[in-house]
Structure 1
Amino acid sequence: MNNKSPPKSIGVLTSGGDAQGMNAAVRAVVRTALHQGAAVYAIYEGYQGMVDGGDRIREQSWDDVGSILHRGGTIIGTARCAAFRERAGRLRAAHNLLLNGIDRLVIIGGDGSLTGADTFRREWPGLVAELVHNGEIDEPTARQHPALMIAGLVGSIDNDMVGTDMTIGADSALHRIIEAIDAIASTAASHQRSFVVEVMGRHCGYLALMSAIAGGTDYVLIPENPPPEGWEDQMCGRLRSGRAAGRRDSIVVVAEGAQDRAGKPISCDYVRQVLEERLGEDARVTILGHVQRGGTPSSFDRWMSTLLGYAAVDEVLSATPESEPQMIAIRYNRVRCVPLMQSVEQTRAVARMIAEQNYAGAMELRGGSFTEMFDVFKAMAEASPSVTAPVHPRRLAIVHAGGLAPGMNSAVRAAVRFGRDRGHVLLGVRGGFEGLLAGRIEELTWGDVEGWTGLGGCELGTNRQIPTVEQLYAVARAIETHRIDGLLIIGGWMAYRAAHQLYSERDRYAAFKIPLICLPATIDNNLPGSELSIGADTALNAIADALDRIKQSAMAANRCFVVETMGRYCGYLALMSGLAGGAERVYLHEEGVTLKDLQADVEQMAAAFRSGRRLNLTIRNERANPQYTTDFMCALFEEEGRGLFDVRRAVLGHFQQGGNPSPYDRILATRLAAHCINFLSAQLESGSAEGAFIGLVEGKVTFFPLSRMSEMVDWTYRRPKEQWWLELRSVVRAVAKSPDADG
């Protein structure tokens, strides 16, 4: 007698509004389930497909979800379903699931979709009993599927779910908004015109707030924290100040659910009318609408959604009939399971609090980071361009060091605005430490840095040269000559080395006994004390875009691409672009590369091409191995492929450092720069002269003393001793290698 239980079957569906990144999540669910030996079914057109059954519930193979990472929307469709709201519809849905042996569901949607899933789960035993009573299923089937296990992923561009830092699609929507604001700013500046931009967010101001920060706009209106009475005068005053300082464009961002303190909606047309009447200039309205939902998903939405889909499969396969349904959330770049209905209830509580005008409660539920960023925007927007300087103002210098990182300009602009608002004199050092030695130092005003938020490159200039031991005396003299009271060093590995060197030589050079702080800015993401550096997100988006183009170029022939990314000895860009780009193999210095690895990889590659594959994508960190170079791998794969496929190399190079900074990098730069100015100000006010480096650790801005740097880094390989992203290697393997592959 065979007592072996049938394989577990999982259903995956997308429901509610579409969101960029849903396809990445579906792909991860399908491939992870197959990797773990489960059957997996895609349910087309959401709950409607579950109710209709038939060919709308289809078993998926590995290749069914190939080449969908870069696609917007959802390939399995979504639809409203009135029938599922009724018990009769849910009865039909249960029957259709049982016909396919499905009793585990991964639902990707908003709070309404997830609530419907929980209702379905609670009713499941009764629905199954009714199906048995009606003779539609037999008793053995009922016994095999006594409960429905579910896991929820939040697909919503509004980022409105309490319990997760980000929802699927929110980052991509922010990209669309910033592209629009950048374009609007240029035309507004040409005509010295004001624009009012409406973004989505009925009960959540995330998109409005973050786009206002990333876009460098003048004013923002969000549902959770309405403006004070008389806000119209405040708004117009800020725009006048900007004009007086030489700003040619003015932009106000309005969330679609914005309202005043009395609960009265604030429309874009009303804001436009106020601007025209009180400022006496033209104002235009742009309502972005559904363009925010469209387009290619960002790199973050690809790799984050992949992690969530992977974790969702783990959750439903390990769940028991007694398990509480979980929402798979992202918290501080880590996947976390949160009680599903608790998050849904708290999310709905935000809407209730807004309706009840309990704005303090709504802001509290949004979380500390949201409140912090609201305060940061308010401080930035209120910063005066013409502060009356104190009698003896403190002089803070900003210097770059290391390679270029998109977002450096954003950090400088924020530092100048915050610093001058505090009454400090801000000095810009042109050309890094070489510029400091040469005396290329100038005062930066509010107007000097206007428009830098979204500007790529590095207006102050940077280089990798840092002071030698012989030059330290000259550096000390330069600090004394220019009366520098505090130093903000923005950059990568060389910036941190220089700061550590200055701090270590304080006993020899009294001029170095000033407050100094390092702000992490490098695409390599290889700095201690920060999980993410400014520039890394922009670089990942550039790589993802390049990989999309490379994969499209390979569709005409059987082809293997070996793509080399930057990062020196840190594999962050390689691994994360492998997740975002759907690579079959990623080579990292942290793991090493052996000839045995390469032999096994080429054998699996050949087997895949013999089975019908047309493309293989391999990503190699630039210093994964000094002997097994990109050229060596290409030659090896070409030789061992024996005509099954062509091999091409793509060294992305400095393309990864170019372009305007992503919204995330602009926001992070602004956030960290604000804390850096606060740190330097506090040190000067207290008479202290500490040295520190700042970073984002588990979602919180954290300061580390420079004296701890040596214990936190691997000096030989220029990277932190602990790198959080290495935990994700198992996810890459699970979604990259088909269980049917040879070996």
Structure 2
Amino acid sequence: MNAAVRAVVRTAIHRGAEVFAIFEGYQGMIDGGNGIRPFGWDDVGSILARGGTVIGTFRSTEFRTREGRLKATRNLIERGIDRLVVIGGDGSLTGLDTLRQEWPGLLDELVANGDITAELAAQHANLIIAGLVGSIDNDLVGVDSTIGSDTALHRIMDAIDALSSTAASHQRSFVLEVMGRHCGYLALAAAIAGGCDYVLIPENPPAEGWEDDMCQILRTARARGRRDSIVVVAEGATDRAGNPIRSEYVRQVIEDHLHEATRTTILGHVQRGGTPSAYDRWASTWLGYEAVKELLNPSVPGEAKVIGMLGNDVVRLPLAGAVQATQRVPDLIASGDYIGAMDARGPSFNELDAIFSELTKPARFVAPDGAKRIAIIHAGGLAPGMNTAASIAVRLGISRGFAMVGIRNGFEGLRKGDARDLGWDDVEGWIGSGGAELGLRRAVPTPEDLYKLSRSLEELRVDGLLVIGGWNAYQAAYLLHSERSRYPAFRIPIVAVPASIDNNLPGTELAVGADTALNVDVASIDMIKMSGAATTRCFVVETMGRYCGFLALMSGIAGGAERVYLNEEGVELGELAYDVAWLQRSFAAGRRLFLAIRNEEASDSYTTEFMGQMLEGASNGNYDVRTHIIGHLQQGGEPTPADRLLAARVVSTGLRRMAQALEAGEPDGWYVGLQFSKITTSPMSHMMDDMDVRHRRPKKQWWMQLQRVLQAVSDQPGPRRKKTR
């Protein structure tokens, strides 16, 4: 919420508007006085990394009455306010739309009572509003994510990872209860990302006898050697008769059936707190920016909008319709229309539910005799989430009737025939681990390698190749696909799955690993900024990304940078000189901290060290300068929940495309990706058409549009020059 507040305040000021903050929700609007305060640029200067909301929130019962809304209207009009951004749940947004509809009548009543003049009422004849959904439940129908849900999922995953180690040590089961009164997103997403065994969600209550089904799944896992079992329960889970399913009941069922020590953990409000994730910072910043645009230039005059994220784009939905659709879901569940309730959550929710069902109740645990053999290979640079992708590929592949083969150490390993068959249990524990158990190499095969590669594929009897990796992996897959006419062994389905911290691959808005790297960057920036809190300091921080500016730009937005230097824009000496002069004036006027983010290949000449030295040389003792290169930390660590979920989705779709190709005898190639909230496949023959090959990045980079967002929240109005390119 704080990221959204900051973006609204600064974007509005950037656009020349006066800004007020209303404290303690609608109650502050009713109370007036100090509850409605002018807010300036520096009032939101240090809130980006803070959890909660600095302006407070409150469930106001008085605002539900017309008398309360009349008081609120008078207080707004007295300050000249007729545009509102409200960040809250469906109840808050319903109240907002009610105020908007009643606004003309409330003005008339205030005029009749002599509280305001007719002229003042005429100046503010309409209330223009924009709603942003702040809800960890992620329950707004029509969008993929709401403010806070990604951070809440991070908190849940921290708990699951901790519980898994405890459970495995003692060989026991845990029942984990998470929030979600009417929406099972947190429970379902956490169950997949955490490799859990069973999940209970409100939208799809389990059939009668679910207790036996759950215990059989746990029993089977134990028989296969698994030492820990975790069942995730959404707080609003019920059976099909509408009776609540409590976590304590689930615990008792497991103990009674399996005679195994079982513990219950209820996370509660821990899920609402803590430092916001990188996604919740940059996405909320974008939403706040778009909310101000909507207020100052409504997309549909006279219609209230709620603004949310669909995939990696901002959408505007009719507020009343979106709230009604959201509030209808509990009615669908109560009436037994579970298909309707699931469909209301959107295609990606149903996709995740199907993946989890297949992982926990597979068609088989062992590949059938004579099964087609699918090889998995990593290539390129390491990306967190490669193990997740490989483990899910093995298990979904086996469930779908394939024999799975792991190639060790990339295409160099394939050239040497270094491979082994992978069974269901061979990938136990991989789903949440960093690194790449299969190993990888960056090298792209040369034409001289093709004969040995083809011989290895023949000797390993490979019928399909799943390539998981970055741009080098994609180049290798493309090379094999292009040489099909010369080498019969390459006449197999080849599917490339995106895994790269650079996020520079064709056909996908995000690659597996990019979100993890971004969170590492933002966590590093937070600590770097804190180290300079007691002095006056300028930081220049370098991120990875090669020629692709995703990590640098998004780190800049999520980390609160004043300046971001990208290869896509280039760096000019005149621009640097102006920035130095601006920085001198800014520190002389009282600035205490400045942060610049530099993409590692932003410029060959103007390196991070050069920038630091230039800034230091111009400081005149008013500030000191530190440079920091985050480096390979960005490739390490355990994958974030978002990267684990993305890995599951792209691998599932890639295997499905592989199965279709094998059934049709279609020895072609595809690359998989996330586009407009959906997982799609594109023909490999088009790959180079989508790429700026020289700079190893897609021709279309959706995140570049966020440059204007960064400018709005970082460029305080003044004489500083804006880019014209």
Q: 1:607·1:741 contact (CA, 8 Å) conserved in 2?
A: no
Deviations 1:491-543 (CA, angstroms, capped at 9, x unpaired)? 00100010011111111111111111100000000000111000000011111
Secondary structure, counterpart of 2:477 in structure 1: helix
Q: Paired residue for 2:384, among 406, 410, 413?
A: 406
Report what 2:253 is aligned to. Answer: 274
Q: Paired residue for 1:260, among 239, 242, 251?
A: 239
TM-score, scaled to structure 1: 0.96
Q: Paired residue for 1:316, among 267, 285, 295?
A: 295
CA distance in 2, matches of 1:495, 1:70: 36
Q: CA deviation at 1:466?
A: 2.4
**1:103 equivalent in alignment to 2:82:** yes
User: Is the alpha carbon distance of 1:683 and 1:261 closer, same or farther for their aligned partners in structure 2, counting shifts above 3 Å?
Assistant: same
Deviations 1:315-352 (CA, angstroms, capped at 9, x unpaired)? 11124995111001111211111100100000011011
Q: 2:24·2:57 contact (CA, 8 Å) conserved in 1?
A: yes
Deviations 1:478-498 (CA, angstroms, capped at 9, x unpaired)? 111111111111000100010
**1:616 equivalent in alignment to 2:620:** no
Partner amino acid, structure 2, of 1:138: T
Q: Paired residue for 1:438, among 416, 419, 422?
A: 416
Q: Which moved more, 1:206-215 or 1:80-89?
A: 80-89
Partner amino acid, structure 2, of 1:127: L
CA distance in 1, matches of 2:261, 2:167: 10
Q: CA deviation at 1:725?
A: 0.9
Deviations 1:362-391 (CA, angstroms, capped at 9, x unpaired)? 11211111111111111111126633x433
Q: Paired residue for 2:23, among 38, 41, 44?
A: 44
Q: 2:363·2:400 contact (CA, 8 Å) conserved in 1?
A: no
**1:511 equivalent in alignment to 2:489:** yes
Report what 1:18 is aligned to. Answer: none
Q: CA deviation at 1:640?
A: 2.0
Report what 2:46 is aligned to. Answer: 67
Report what 1:132 is aligned to. Answer: 111
Secondary structure, counterpart of 2:568 in structure 1: coil
Report what 1:35 is aligned to. Answer: 14
**1:527 equivalent in alignment to 2:487:** no
Deviations 1:244-274 (CA, angstroms, capped at 9, x unpaired)? 1111101111101111122121111111111
**1:216 equivalent in alignment to 2:195:** yes
Secondary structure, counterpart of 2:424 in structure 1: coil
Report what 1:9 is aligned to. Answer: none
TM-score, scaled to structure 2: 0.98
Q: Paired residue for 2:125, among 139, 146, 149?
A: 146
Deviations 1:273-309 (CA, angstroms, capped at 9, x unpaired)? 1111111111111111000001000000000000100
Secondary structure, counterpart of 2:303 in structure 1: coil
CA distance in 2, matches of 1:26, 1:242: 46
- Aligned-residue Cα RMSD (Å) equals 1.2
CA distance in 2, matches of 1:319, 1:466: 50
User: Is the alpha carbon distance of 1:501 and 1:321 closer, same or farther for their aligned partners in structure 2, counting shifts above 3 Å?
Assistant: closer
**1:735 equivalent in alignment to 2:716:** no
Q: Which moved more, 1:438-447 or 1:204-213?
A: 438-447
Q: 1:385·1:447 contact (CA, 8 Å) conserved in 2?
A: no
Deviations 1:549-577 (CA, angstroms, capped at 9, x unpaired)? 01111111111100000000000000111
CA distance in 1, matches of 2:146, 2:710: 21
Q: 2:140·2:323 contact (CA, 8 Å) conserved in 1?
A: yes
Deviations 1:77-122 (CA, angstroms, capped at 9, x unpaired)? 0112122111121111111111211111000000000111111111
**1:198 equivalent in alignment to 2:177:** yes
CA distance in 2, matches of 1:364, 1:401: 37
Q: 1:245·1:446 contact (CA, 8 Å) conserved in 2?
A: no
Deviations 1:614-643 (CA, angstroms, capped at 9, x unpaired)? 101100100011111111111111112222
CA distance in 1, matches of 2:582, 2:363: 62
**1:604 equivalent in alignment to 2:582:** yes
CA distance in 2, matches of 1:510, 1:322: 62
**1:93 equivalent in alignment to 2:72:** yes
Secondary structure, counterpart of 2:85 in structure 1: strand
Q: 1:607·1:742 contact (CA, 8 Å) conserved in 2?
A: no
Q: Paired residue for 1:714, among 692, 711, 720?
A: 692
Q: 2:3·2:48 contact (CA, 8 Å) conserved in 1?
A: yes
Q: Paired residue for 1:681, among 632, 635, 659?
A: 659
Deviations 1:52-75 (CA, angstroms, capped at 9, x unpaired)? 111121111111100111000000
Partner amino acid, structure 2, of 1:160: D
Report what 1:171 is aligned to. Answer: 150
Report what 2:228 is aligned to. Answer: 249
CA distance in 2, matches of 1:422, 1:316: 51
Q: Paired residue for 2:635, among 637, 650, 657?
A: 657
In the TM superposition, 1:534-683 aligns within 5 A as 534-683=512-661
Deviations 1:23-77 (CA, angstroms, capped at 9, x unpaired)? 0000000000000000000011111111111112111111110011100000010
Q: Paired residue for 2:339, among 343, 357, 360?
A: 360
CA distance in 2, matches of 1:526, 1:318: 34
Partner amino acid, structure 1, of 2:556: G
Partner amino acid, structure 2, of 1:197: L
Q: 1:124·1:148 contact (CA, 8 Å) conserved in 2?
A: yes
Secondary structure, counterpart of 2:425 in structure 1: coil
Partner amino acid, structure 1, of 2:225: G
Secondary structure, counterpart of 2:196 in structure 1: coil
Q: Paired residue for 1:122, among 101, 126, 140?
A: 101
Q: Which moved more, 1:130-139 or 1:619-628?
A: 130-139
Q: CA deviation at 1:189?
A: 0.5
Q: Paired residue for 1:284, among 263, 288, 300?
A: 263
Q: 2:653·2:680 contact (CA, 8 Å) conserved in 1?
A: no
CA distance in 2, matches of 1:47, 1:491: 49
Secondary structure, counterpart of 2:29 in structure 1: helix
Q: 1:210·1:667 contact (CA, 8 Å) conserved in 2?
A: yes
Identity of aligned residues (%): 60
Q: 2:654·2:681 contact (CA, 8 Å) conserved in 1?
A: no
CA distance in 2, matches of 1:24, 1:361: 34
**1:471 equivalent in alignment to 2:449:** yes
**1:238 equivalent in alignment to 2:217:** yes
Structure 2 unmatched ranges of 5 or more: none
Q: 2:28·2:35 contact (CA, 8 Å) conserved in 1?
A: yes
